[in-house]
Amino acid sequence: MYTSNTGSGTITQGVQQSVELFTLSNPEVTTVNLTAVTYPNPTSDYVVLAISDANLTDLSYSLYDLQGKEITKGQATQSNMQIEMQHLAIGTYVLKVNQNNQELKTFKIIKK
């Protein structure tokens, strides 16, 4: 005898927020107030990395594809860094933020 369960699902429309994959991979750092903001996410042009803790220094970022290939990297020298994405293919990317070569946060960015 074969039985089938069918259920109903819903699709919700709305604004998609930045997705934070991992917070504070360095447990010694407990005062980090770091956010990544996209306009919008999914994005087609760029990602803004907004750093709201002025005490953080020597920050860098790296953008990777899902295969782990580094696409771009740079120093986060301003409180609002714009990372260009218009030249990238549609897909999902990972943005990692580091301090002194230690990973602080990782974000999932969707390129449409």
Give the per-residue SS3 of 17-76: CCEEEEECCCCCCCCCCEEEEECCCCECCEEEEEECCCCCCCEEEEEEECCCCEEEEEEC
pLDDT at 29: 54
pLDDT at 73: 95
Q: In the chain, what are the domain boundaries?
A: 19-111
The CATH number of domain 19-111 is 3.30.70.80 = no
pLDDT at 24: 40
* Regions of the chain short of the pLDDT cut 50: 1-5, 7, 9-18, 20-25
For residue range 81-103, what is the model confidence (pLDDT) as tens digits? 899 999 999 999 999 989 888 88
Report the Cα 107 to chain-centroid distance in Å.
2
Residue 21: count of CB within 10 angstroms of its CB: 11
Output the pTM of the full model. Answer: 0.70
